[in-house]
Amino acid sequence: MARAGKASKYNNKKTEVDGHVFDSKAEARRYNELKLLQAAGEIIGFTIQPSFVLEEGIRYRPDFMICGKDGQIWVEDVKGVETKDFKIKKKLWEAKFPWLELRIVK
């Protein structure tokens, strides 16, 4: 968590919606979109920041795991900038979970 008065590295602003604190306004906006999609029946539901073990000692928490109305499941990460660390985790993800699509939302 960023200290008070200190700007985040990527100019993200923590945003609270429904008691959930998101790392950016874009992430909070996507959360609101997913709520609307669920209410409209376009998706069955979603989970916020599920945790996955990529390798021993390496965890990855995408922003959302979503279940579509057809039962398809995928994960999403809201990214303004794809960091070097994220690119490594993405490769590890693709190797460990090839059946579970990782979608990047800009």
- Domain assignment present for residue 2? The answer is no
Write the CATH number for 66: 3.40.1350.10
Residue-wise pLDDT for 57-94, tens only, equals 999 999 999 999 999 999 999 998 899 999 999 999 99
Is 82 inside any structural domain? yes
Which residues constitute the domain of residue 28? 15-105
Q: Is residue 24 part of a domain?
A: yes
C-alpha distances out from residue 8 to 17, 26, 28, 71, Å: 19, 14, 16, 37
Q: Is residue 66 part of a domain?
A: yes
3 assigned to some structural domain: no
3-class SS at 105?
strand
Statement: residue 23 has pLDDT above 60: yes
- Whether the pLDDT of residue 1 is over 60: the answer is no
The average pLDDT across 28-51 equals 98
Q: pTM for the full model?
A: 0.85
**pLDDT higher than threshold 90 for residue 7:** no
